[in-house]
Amino acid sequence: MGKSTIPFIFENAYLNNIFVEAASCANVSKLFCFQNFTLEKLKKNNPMILVTDSSSLQKIVSQDIKSDSIFLVNESSQESVISEISSEVITINIPFKMSDFYRIVENYLIQIDINNKRIIKYRNFSYDPSTRKLMNQSTFLRFTEKESQIFNCLMKNTDSYITKKDLLNKVWSYGDGIDTHTLETHIYALRKKIDSKLNIKELIMFEEKKGYYINKEIL
Tell me the whole-structure pTM to 2 decimals: 0.57
pLDDT of residue 76: 62
- 86 and 162 co-located in one domain: no
- 100 and 11 co-located in one domain: yes
The pLDDT-based confidence of 174 (bands split at 50, 70, 90) is low
For 111, counting Cβ atoms within 10 Å of its Cβ (0-12 exposed, 13-18 middle, 19+ buried), the class is exposed
**End position of a domain, from candidates 116, 151, 175:** 116
Give the angle subtended at the CA of 82 by the CAs of 80 and 87, to the nearest 5°.
155
Other CB atoms within a 10 A radius of the CB of residue 58 amount to 16
Overall number of domains in the chain:
2
**End position of a domain, from candidates 68, 97, 116:** 116
- 25 and 112 co-located in one domain: yes
- 92 and 11 co-located in one domain: yes
Q: pLDDT tens digits, residue range 16-49? A: 999 999 999 878 899 999 999 999 998 888 788 9
Q: pLDDT tens digits, residue range 137-172? A: 888 888 998 899 999 888 888 778 899 888 888 888
- 46 and 133 co-located in one domain: no
- 84 and 9 co-located in one domain: yes
- 42 and 98 co-located in one domain: yes
- 103 and 60 co-located in one domain: yes
**Which residues sit opposite 212 in a β-bridge?**
162, 206
Q: Is 45 strand, coil or helix?
A: helix
Most confident of 94-103, 150-159, 207-216: 94-103
The pLDDT-based confidence of 99 (bands split at 50, 70, 90) is very high
Sign of the Cα pseudo-torsion (40, 5, 97, 71, in order): positive
147 against 76, higher pLDDT: 147
For the CA atoms of the chain, what is the radius of gyration?
22
- 18 and 85 co-located in one domain: yes
- 31 and 129 co-located in one domain: no
Residue 150 near residue 186, CB atoms below 8 Å = yes
- 10 and 92 co-located in one domain: yes
pLDDT of residue 29: 92
**Domain harbouring 96, CATH code:** 3.40.50.2300
Range of the domain at 8: 4-116
Long-range contacts of the stretch 55-58 (C-beta < 8 A, 24+): 55/11, 55/12, 56/9, 56/10, 56/11, 57/81, 57/82
- For residue 89, give the DSSP letter: E
**End position of a domain, from candidates 58, 83, 116:** 116
Asked whether the bond before 7 is cis by omega within 30 degrees of 0, the reply is no
Most confident of 11-15, 44-48, 60-64: 11-15
pLDDT of residue 116: 74
